[in-house]
Amino acid sequence: MESFPSNSTVRRSSLLLLRVIISVFLLIALVLISITSQTVGGAKFKFTQVYSFRYMLAVIVIGLVYSLIQTSLAIFSMVSGDDVFKGKIANIFNFYADKIISYLLATGAAAGLGASEDLHRIFDATLNLNLDDFFAKANTSASFLFIAFICSAIASIYSSYELPT
Amino acid sequence: MESFPSNSTVRRSSLLLLRVIISVFLLIALVLISITSQTVGGAKFKFTQVYSFRYMLAVIVIGLVYSLIQTSLAIFSMVSGDDVFKGKIANIFNFYADKIISYLLATGAAAGLGASEDLHRIFDATLNLNLDDFFAKANTSASFLFIAFICSAIASIYSSYELPT
């Protein structure tokens, strides 16, 4: 049983690393979507005019709050040497929370990537409006959100293995 | 231990029911997205012109093939009384497959719902093109895909509990 504490430490360290990466990527996505605006021909375009981008913002904020709380708990547990959030209830909570958050991030990234791609093409083709800068920012934000989703899907696999049987 | 076979039968029956619902809803979504086209002012609009709808179609086809295979396996197992796909490897495969398929359906539904909403508004506002019929079909297809995603997320919870520890 010697390998158990070490295994558990490796698992907790990699899960913490994932949560830090998720937080950082969501923070970058948040900044990028917030500054997504462009003035073309006197008309100002803001990300709030596109519903998919608004949804992205909501998803990013929810995901960021959740992952910052989980990161803090994980760091606190590591530093104090005592797992502050453990046991059957904690494992079940983490399983469902990680799963729901990863689905939210997935839908946010998909809506953002789809909207920026399709709207960009239509604005280019039909309205002759050059909104490259606008859609580049939104698209980059959605890409960071997508990487955060991939990391949260992996975190969700971790927490599935912690499910009590 | 008398309750075990009964519990397992209940679980298998509800999982089969879920897979049948997923298959039916994906089939409806497939039909709806395939007939998404409209002719306005001599110009023909087809769903293939919107990348998000193309992605939706791809996701629906992958999800449908997967859920039909799983439904067939489940029905065959129930009829023959012998689980044809069981054991540790089968459980791990189901866990990852259900998870990946549910993420795919989630992203497809999100991209479809986002695109139909935002594109519809922009076509209405800027191009004065009445594409209500076109976007209504695409939106309904995405809604069926969304319900299929919810069912697949529940199926994915089932298969997480079957994970060997």
ipTM of the prediction: 0.90
Rounded Cα distance between A52 and B103, Å, is 18
Q: What is the mean pLDDT of residues A147-162?
A: 95
Cβ atoms A158, A13 nearer than 8 A: no
Least confident of A5-19, A106-120, B63-77: A5-19
Look at residue A45 and give its three-state secondary structure: strand
Q: For B67-126, what is each residue's pLDDT tens digit?
A: 999 999 989 988 888 777 778 899 999 999 999 999 999 999 999 999 999 999 888 877
Residue B115 with chain A: CB contacts under 8 Å: 52, 114-115, 118
Q: For A79-114, what is each residue's pLDDT tens digit?
A: 888 777 778 899 999 999 999 999 999 999 999 999
Rounded Cα distance between A143 and A149, Å, is 10
Q: What is the percentage of chain B residues whose pLDDT exceeds 70? A: 95
Token pair of B73 as six digits: 């396996």
Task: Classify domain A3-161 at the CATH class level.
Answer: mainly alpha
CB of A99 less than 8 A from some CB of B: yes
Instruction: Work out the pLDDT band at A149, boundaries 50, 70, 90.
Output: very high
pTM score: 0.91
Examine the pLDDT at A18 and tell me if it is beyond 90: yes
How many CB atoms neighbour CB B42 within 10 A?
Answer: 5
Inter-CA distances, B67 with A165, B74, B106, B148, Å? 26, 10, 15, 10
Look at residue A23 and give its three-state secondary structure: helix
**Count of helix runs (H) and strand runs (E) in chain A:** 4, 2
CB of B158 less than 8 A from some CB of A: no
Angle at A107 between CA B158 and CA A14, to 5 degrees: 65
Residue partners of B80: CB distance under 8 A and separation at least 6: none
- Which of A103, A123, A158 to mutate to probe the B interface, most B CBs <10 Å? A103
Instruction: Work out the pLDDT band at A1, boundaries 50, 70, 90.
Output: very low
Rounded Cα distance between A130 and A135, Å, is 10
- What is the domain partition of chain A in residue ranges? 3-161
Residue A103 with chain B: CB contacts under 8 Å: 102-103, 106, 153
Partners of B40 in beta bridges: B43
> Where are the strands (E) in chain B, listed by range?
37-40, 43-46
Rounded Cα distance between B33 and B47, Å, is 7
**Rounded to a whole number, what is the distance in angstroms from the first to the last CA of chain B?**
21
Dmax over CA atoms of chain A, in Å, equals: 70
Q: Is A125 exposed, middle or buried (0-12, 13-18, 19+ CB in 10 A)?
A: exposed
